[in-house]
Structure 1
């Protein structure tokens, strides 16, 4: 029930409007009344009145409605106001709108005009409340950024979490390798997602938010009764099928994890559990559902002695063809075992470690830049993952033959570095670099690490943070959201996380310290 403060200097009219408001189906109650703006301000300041909406006349003694709205703004209140006036003078309407009036209604007040205004206000308040509750849930889930959203505790006894991921599991080490919208990548569409939500879920409030990685989406559902209100497997499977049908072909499968009913204190830990479960259960090109409490856990991959011995034998030769032939035999066994993303990453990492232990030091330093998740998470099938891994190893074998990259490779890396310096505001990932320069993305990453000292993704992230710091110093009028966009981050939450990882403080803390130092004369 939304509360209204009604300000009107004529008691009969005040009681009439109060009756009109409370008889509306929009669910408002007049919780406070006052005969002028001064009395209303006193109620707000001294009595702690907290209305959701204010309906006020313009012409009143002591303090009129326009002056009242100016005082509200100066004192930091953000309460929407509907202005009532018996005067149709445009100047009144114009000044009311300049004071951010939510609506302007003429007396004598008509039922349908008031009903329309209340309907709009009700929709706005629902949206505002949902936004404040989502901000609260983000903080509870440890997903909150620092861009000033005011939180409001929804106050439900239980919740149920839903984690949805399009495509493969990503550690976040190279988020910017995601393709741009122009390359066919589709952003999350909350309307389409909510349309596929089970009727069981729609029976209670749901808050949607971004996940830890850019291809993840999180829904938190309120539960009054955890026994009768929780979504079960059948409904979850139906939602997964609907979301999978909407995913673009180049985005791969859709994976979903659903929690058991939980209390607020367990939300953050449960979200981590869901994400770990999806990472463990991911299969190439296959949409999968994981229900908390299920028995889908698989044992972790362990490098067998046979595979380790085969790797040792292959490292004594610079013959890449022998390695590729061995890989073909191994893959046939892996496919029989039904290995998914997590197993493929473990396998490739184990093979690289084995080779790294036996190759010459200068070659091993190149191989050490290997990131299994970066390689595997962009693949839709095991065959594609193996192909990318073989290309990576092929470059290692080439380096083994040549000892170190020649000058032409170093020239290429200088061009790559120059490209990153000039295009840092654009979506750039390993696929983009492969497209621009015509070399395998793993080769570019390895040689760039050898020449520059870090992979392209880390170099780009460092470059963007350096640009952000410069903007904070040089353009103090810019908001943090504007700075994030100027350096190439559309997701302000992800920008905040990257900034804090790089500097040890959030961008808001850094900016506040900068402003404080500037005011005190410390530079």
Structure 2
């Protein structure tokens, strides 16, 4: 937002302009008003404010508008000025031109002309700001604006202003959105950043060499999103884009070691409807769970796949018997068989497949009716439900169900009474997991050897001390993310991580996604970051 100051010795001009212009809609803030140049200068200096746009009368007592403009230009050379006057005074106009004014408006003021002048002034200020940014910063700004527009997070007027000065528009009769997702693999943050940058560069190089009109951006899932132009909106146009993406996938395969996941939204008439295609492309992307070998997931081909009103169900009694018998091998085979059967059902969709997985874990949870509600297995259950709802692959769904079965089996076979030392330590951790703990300090407090305490803890809980503490802290973090608007750094510190990178690492390890992505998937407290 840029600061505007209005200076005019006619009070009705000040009052009229302040109320009739929608300043925020133009990306502006009305920072102040004054009835002469001297008062304005004193107010600006007292406030320590920067004036970006000055709207000033020329003829005023104490200090005229051109003198005020000269004074303010010394403080901010990029200041934009709009001169007001009751007369078409040629000498004043010449002086104003030398000072680089944006417009010379005669009273009574034409509001449409004033608004257009303000819009152009904002565009110039934006361009100057862009010119000062590095290429990387400009790229990040473009990504942010495109993503906000594609997901409905920016108003029409703000989008119009920003898209014009950043060149974020496709002049094409028809447009379709495409998503390019990297294969899921174990990698640290630096490797992931390099991978997504390489995919994007490859996509842009591929499309540029073929003379295609496009725009690209990285979304919050680190996918490369593309808006692709097409001269026709019929089946031939869609087939051409599909073929382009298939060739792109083949070119990306050697660098990735496998095909990326590609999804294509429907062709829409005009660039202004591109967000609709983007939304449908994301819906098509989910079908990678059912069609992992499909080179391009085309929304128009998948839209009619789902439609039945049922959710698949598993044999709850069989699951109960296998869990009670602690026969996890047979249970894993049964889970595999059930998912195979679900996937082969007619008109199956990713949403219904997730519902089938939920049904499996809900059937097994019934076995915990004798287990105290404070037991960690219930937290694991709630966490697993959240991860199932946000799962992106069939293998992930299988693993979540298998892991839940193992957790319930462990809870059922757990001894009722723990070693008294371990029980006291667990109570202490439950009460204050944010404090600094180590086996060494706890061993001193309970007068046992650290190695023995570690072995005892592992035996009683089935986890190492550090794994148990980290898991407990992450569970607490999940609760805060769901129930508060605390920022991630605040949550990190509240549960015992003073290093945000350490928190990110452990959260990703135990939950499977980054903290911000998890909060978004859960639809948790909004506005926090």
DSSP 3-state at the match of 1:209: strand
Give 2:329's aligned residue: 324
**Structure 1 residues 453 and 467, CA gap change in structure 2 (3 angstroms):** closer
Contact 1:167–1:253 (CA<8 Å) still a contact in 2? yes
- Residues 176, 277 of structure 2: 8 Å contact kept: no
Map 1:433-444 → 2, pairs under 5 A = none
1:311 and 2:319 are equivalent in the alignment: yes
Q: Which of 486, 496, 500 is 1:465 aligned to?
A: 486
Structure 1 position 389, deviation (Å): 4.0
The CA distance in 2 between the partners of 1:337 and 1:499, in whole Å, is 24
Aligned length: 368
- Measured in 1, the distance between the counterparts of 2:311 and 2:392 equals 22
Does the 8 Å CA contact 2:265/2:279 hold for their aligned counterparts?
A: no
Task: Give the superposition deviation at 1:399.
Answer: 0.8
TM-score (structure 2 length as normaliser)? 0.50
What does 1:179-258 correspond to in 2, within 5 Å?
Answer: 179-181=188-190, 186-189=195-198, 190-197=200-207, 202-204=211-213, 206-213=214-221, 215-223=222-230, 225-226=232-233, 231-247=240-256, 254-258=260-264
1:163: which partner in 2? 179
Distance verdict in 2 for CA 1:438–1:243, change over 3 Å: farther
CA distance in 2, matches of 1:379, 1:163: 14
Aligned equivalent of 1:90? none
Distance 1:38 1:460 in 2: 56
Tell me, yes or no, if the aligned pair for 1:448 and 1:456 is still in contact at 8 Å. no
* 2:406 alignment partner in structure 1: 394
Q: Distance in 2 between matches of 1:455 and 1:259?
A: 39
List alignment gaps of at least 5 residues for structure 1.
1-33, 54-71, 82-99, 104-122, 170-176, 423-436, 472-483, 508-523
1:289 and 2:300 are equivalent in the alignment: no
Distance of 2:202 and 2:428 partners within structure 1:
43
1:38 maps onto 2:97 in alignment = yes
Which secondary structure state, in structure 2, belongs to the residue aligned with residue 351 of structure 1?
A: helix
CA distance in 2: counterparts of 1:391 and 1:493, whole angstroms: 21
Q: How has the CA–CA distance of structure 1 residues 76 and 220 changed in structure 2, closer, same or farther, with 3 Å as cutoff?
A: closer
Offset at residue 45 of structure 1 (A): 5.7
Whose Rg is larger? 2
Query: Aligned ranges for residues 76-475 of structure 1 at < 5 Å?
Result: 77-78=124-125, 137-142=146-151, 144=153, 151-152=162-163, 154=169, 156=171, 157-167=173-183, 179-181=188-190, 186-189=195-198, 190-197=200-207, 202-204=211-213, 206-213=214-221, 215-223=222-230, 225-226=232-233, 231-247=240-256, 254-262=260-268, 263-264=270-271, 266-283=273-290, 286=293, 288-295=295-302, 298-299=305-306, 302-304=311-313, 307-314=315-322, 317=324, 319-321=325-327, 323-332=328-337, 334-335=339-340, 345-362=354-371, 365-366=378-379, 368-371=381-384, 374=387, 382=395, 386=398, 389-402=401-414, 407=422, 410=426, 418=434, 454=475, 456-457=477-478, 459=480, 465-466=486-487
Contact 1:255/1:282 (<8 A) preserved: no
**Secondary structure of 1:203's aligned partner:** coil
Cα distance change of structure 1 residues 203 and 35 upon mapping to structure 2, 3 Å threshold: farther
Q: Extract unaligned runs of 5+ from structure 2.
A: 1-92, 106-112, 439-456, 493-499, 506-513
Aligned mates of 1:287, 1:265 — CA distance in 2? 29
Contact 1:44 1:50 in 2 (8 A): yes
After superposition, give the CA deviation of every residue in 1:298-349 in whole Å (9 maximum; x if it has no partner).
55784346x233224445x2x212x431431452464477579767644432
**SS, match of residue 163 in structure 1:** strand
Instruction: Find the counterpart in structure 1 of residue 67 from structure 2.
Output: none
Supply the distance in 1 between the matched residues of 2:521 and 2:302 (Cα, whole angstroms).
38
* Contact 1:198/1:238 (<8 A) preserved: no
CA distance in 1, matches of 2:405, 2:526: 36
Question: TM-score, structure 1 length as denominator?
Answer: 0.51
1:374 CA drift (Å): 3.3
| Structure 1 CA distance for aligned equivalents of residues 463 and 154 of structure 2 | 32
What is the rounded CA distance, in whole Å, between the counterparts of 1:101 and 1:276 in structure 2?
34
Contact 1:181 1:187 survives alignment (8 Å)? no
Task: Give 1:506 deviation, angstroms.
Answer: 6.7
Native 8 Å contact 1:161 1:218 kept in 2: yes
3-state SS of paired residue (1:320): coil
- In structure 2, C-alpha distance between the alignment counterparts of 1:44 and 1:421, rounded to whole Å: 67
1:254/1:286 contact within 8 Å kept: no
